[in-house]
Amino acid sequence: MMEWNELESAAHACTRCGLCETRHNVVFGVGNRSADVMFVGEGPGEQEDLQGIPFVGPAGRLLDDMLSIIDLDRNTNCYIANIVKCRPPRNRDPMETEQDACIDYLRNQVLLVRPKIIVCLGRIAAKRLIDPDFRITRQHGAWVEKNGIWMSAIYHPSALLRDVSKRPETFDDLIALRAKIRELGCQM
Ligand code: URA
């Protein structure tokens, strides 16, 4: 396990997969490194790649709005990262091999943050972190405890931009997340 400075430097210099050839910036993570609540997306999009910060494009604005509904804020009480730290070309899904090459950075981030809760944003993160057979339509909002961390998944904000009919269910999932945060006495 590496400490933050070493880990971030290693990620910024990473050439473990082909995504390093097309990236503008490594998108490491953002937020409170001691937060009790962590969010994990799939990988950077265009704006994230250009700015080096997770969820700063259209989906990111929606994510910030979703967080604010339950008094979460990326700069104070949560930490946000991705399965892969470099943008897949044209925003395609990150390949299994790319996820494999990158996942140890996320593992190390989780070990350092020590969150009580991890919320996967979308099916790619849910499949990787919760269950390879995870079905987001059926299992969003469900909670499982793994290695002492409470885990769930909600629809990816990009999916909510494409399909507003998923928003009411996501609102319910956010309210359930707030209940879990209170139940576990998370630092807010
Ligand atoms: N989508 C993601 O999954 N992650 C980001 O950082 C931005 C968009």
User: What's 172's domain CATH number?
Assistant: 3.40.470.10
**Residue 101 lies inside a defined structural domain of this protein:** yes
Give residue-wise pLDDT tens across range 21-44: 999 999 999 999 999 999 999 999
**Residue 43 lies inside a defined structural domain of this protein:** yes
The whole-number pLDDT of residue 21 equals 98
**Cα 85 to averaged position of ligand 1 atoms, centre (Å):** 9
Radius of gyration of the chain (CA): 15
Total domains in the fold of the chain: 1
* Ligand 1 site residues, Cβ closer than 6 angstroms: 27, 41-45, 48, 54-55, 59-60, 82, 121
**Residue 188 lies inside a defined structural domain of this protein:** no
**Residue 187 lies inside a defined structural domain of this protein:** no
- Which residue owns the Cα nearest ligand 1 atom 7? 55
Task: Tell the burial category of 101 from Cβ atoms under 10 Å away from its Cβ (0-12, 13-18, 19+).
Answer: buried
**Residue 15 lies inside a defined structural domain of this protein:** yes
The whole-number pLDDT of residue 181 equals 98
| Predicted TM-score of the model (pTM) | 0.98
Give residue-wise pLDDT tens across range 54-104: 999 999 999 999 999 999 999 999 999 999 999 999 999 999 999 999 999
Please name every residue paired with 119 in a beta bridge, in sequence order, or none if there are none: 39, 152
**Cα 58 to averaged position of ligand 1 atoms, centre (Å):** 10
The whole-number pLDDT of residue 33 equals 98
The whole-number pLDDT of residue 105 equals 98
Give residue-wise pLDDT tens across range 105-145: 999 999 999 999 999 999 999 999 999 999 999 999 999 99
Find the domain containing 91 and state its range: 4-182
Are 43 and 17 within 8 A, CB to CB? no
The whole-number pLDDT of residue 37 equals 98
**Residue 70 lies inside a defined structural domain of this protein:** yes
**Residue 23 lies inside a defined structural domain of this protein:** yes
Task: Tell the burial category of 90 from Cβ atoms under 10 Å away from its Cβ (0-12, 13-18, 19+).
Answer: exposed
**Residue 172 lies inside a defined structural domain of this protein:** yes
Contacts (Cβ under 8 Å, ≥6 apart) of 132 = none
